[in-house]
Amino acid sequence: MTHFQLAVATGIAVGVLDVAPMIFRRISGRSCVSAFLLFFFASIIVFYSDLPYLPWWADGVGITLAMMLPVLFTFVGKDRGAIPVVVFNVLIFGVLISLAERFLPQIV
């Protein structure tokens, strides 16, 4: 697999992992598509970037958190209880993307 194919496969896998619980909780389709696309594009960006002064495992966290910040501001008025859950997901999936970027090319 090429580097780009690994980035796309990682983005799809992480996007599906994030969206699956949202579907079971009957969250709107727009929110599910938004979350999927966020992690899909975040994985491609993480695979092709290297943030200065951060260790390799924090690249995914930094990029996904930066991409999620505008979405978090939409929760301020309506659903504040979702903010900790979303931030937790961003942290976990950001690390998973970094792990995939670091170790998948060696395996495949």
- Residues 95/98/102/106 CA torsion (nearest 10 deg): 90
The string of pLDDT tens digits covering residues 46-55 is: 999 988 998 9
Is residue 3's pLDDT more than 80? yes
| pLDDT tens column, 24-39 | 988 888 989 999 999 9
Question: What span, in angstroms and rounded, lies between the C-alpha atoms of 58 and 46?
Answer: 10
SS3 79: coil
Over 90: is that where the pLDDT of 72 sits? no
pTM of the model: 0.88
The answer to whether residue 76 scores a pLDDT higher than 90 is no
The answer to whether residue 108 scores a pLDDT higher than 90 is no
